[in-house]
Amino acid sequence: MDSQLPLRILEAVGLLHRLGYYGLRVLPGMNASGTAWRIVIFNVTEWNFEDEFGDPYNAEERCLYSTAGQNVFNNDIQFPEDVSHVSVAEAILEAMPSLQRGMRQESGNQQYTNWYAMLLSQVHSLTDLPVAYADYFDDSLGWELGWCSRHRVPAPPKHLPAPTLSKRADSDEHYVLELCDQVLEAKRTGQQTFPWLVGDPSAKNGKVKPLPVDGYWAELGVVVEYHERQHTESVPFFDDKITASGRRRGEQRRIYDARKAELIPEHDLKLVIIDFKDFSNKRGKIVRKPAEDLRIVESILAQAMEDPAGNITR
């Protein structure tokens, strides 16, 4: 039986769109000989405007698959024959740590996600796999559903980034870190990584990935971690899923939080954890009161600066 993984991959991207990971795009096509279907999954934040398709194969974070590899995903993940699209979605998130949930309008990808839902509704079997490019293929006619089927659908909308795309200005994390910038009178480095702060090795290949911090002020030696709802409350859909390291996602998050709390101070940096519960909130989201919220952040940071240990980890 032919591998059903191509269908599960396409379904996984649709699932992640529905869960708020609106930045995902795919580029499917045929290899040079026309004997294997392949696909690359990438984050629209890495779009290269000098390339017609955004140059996804050169993206820093991407997932790859080819039917020539049967059930092997992203070069080293061997899936079982009956793999679910949820498991594939988990693998995509594991391979693309910079991919974040956000507001649909801030992704600059809103029209694309609507288009993708239309495309997915027309893919029912392996004979319907979409093709965006191939040798001697006229892509001006749109994508083909099923290689050599002549069944075309319009090409996806062009990527037009929203002004706030890279800043995630509507997210609570960005809002809180902006308040920290004001209090500290300095500009942070976001998603900073350190060679001594890494995740657990992959159970499959032993590779480790860096654990980025939310905000880092190098000249002050300050690290701020903003804890959203999932750091203290279970998110059932994903928390029970097994990650590449072999742990459940919820357990792994707790371990990584503890690792940051231990290692960051050991490297002479002040660690400040700001929780959504420090603010007026509703259903895990901050009810924004800028003047009041600024005073809250100012108090938390002042306590960290005055503490000889320099760490506020509630």
The tokens for 303 are: 């306590």
What does each of the 314 residues of the chain score in pLDDT, given as a tens digit? 589 999 999 999 999 999 999 999 999 999 999 999 999 999 998 888 878 889 999 888 999 999 999 999 999 999 999 999 999 999 999 999 888 887 666 666 888 999 999 999 999 999 999 999 999 899 889 999 999 999 999 999 988 765 544 445 568 999 999 999 999 999 898 889 999 999 988 877 788 889 999 999 999 999 999 998 776 555 554 444 555 556 677 788 889 999 999 999 999 999 999 999 999 998 888 999 999 999 999 999 999 887 655 565 55
pTM of the model: 0.56
190, 195, 200, 205: CA torsion to nearest 10: 110
Torsions phi, psi of 234, nearest 5?
-70, 140
**Which among 173, 41, 53 has a CA at the least distance from the CA of 103?**
173
β-strands 222-227, 270-275 pairing: parallel
Q: Give the pLDDT confidence score for residue 314 in this predicted structure.
A: 53
- Taking the chain, what is the end-to-end CA distance rounded to the nearest angstrom? 53
What is the Cα–Cα distance from 222 to 272, expressed in whole angstroms? 8
Identify the H or E element spanning 256: helix 249-266
Burial of 185 (0-12, 13-18, 19+ CB in 10 A): exposed
What is the Cα–Cα distance from 90 to 95, expressed in whole angstroms? 9
Q: Give the pLDDT confidence score for residue 166 in this predicted structure.
A: 44
Specify the residue for token string 């649909």: 104
The tokens for 279 are: 């603010």
Q: Give the pLDDT confidence score for residue 156 in this predicted structure.
A: 95
Other CB atoms within 10 Å distance of the CB of residue 13: 23
SS3 content of the chain, % helix, strand, coil (to 5): 35, 20, 45
Residue 172 and residue 184 in contact, taking contact as beta carbons nearer than 8 Å: no
Q: Give the pLDDT confidence score for residue 283 in this predicted structure.
A: 80
Burial of 4 (0-12, 13-18, 19+ CB in 10 A): middle
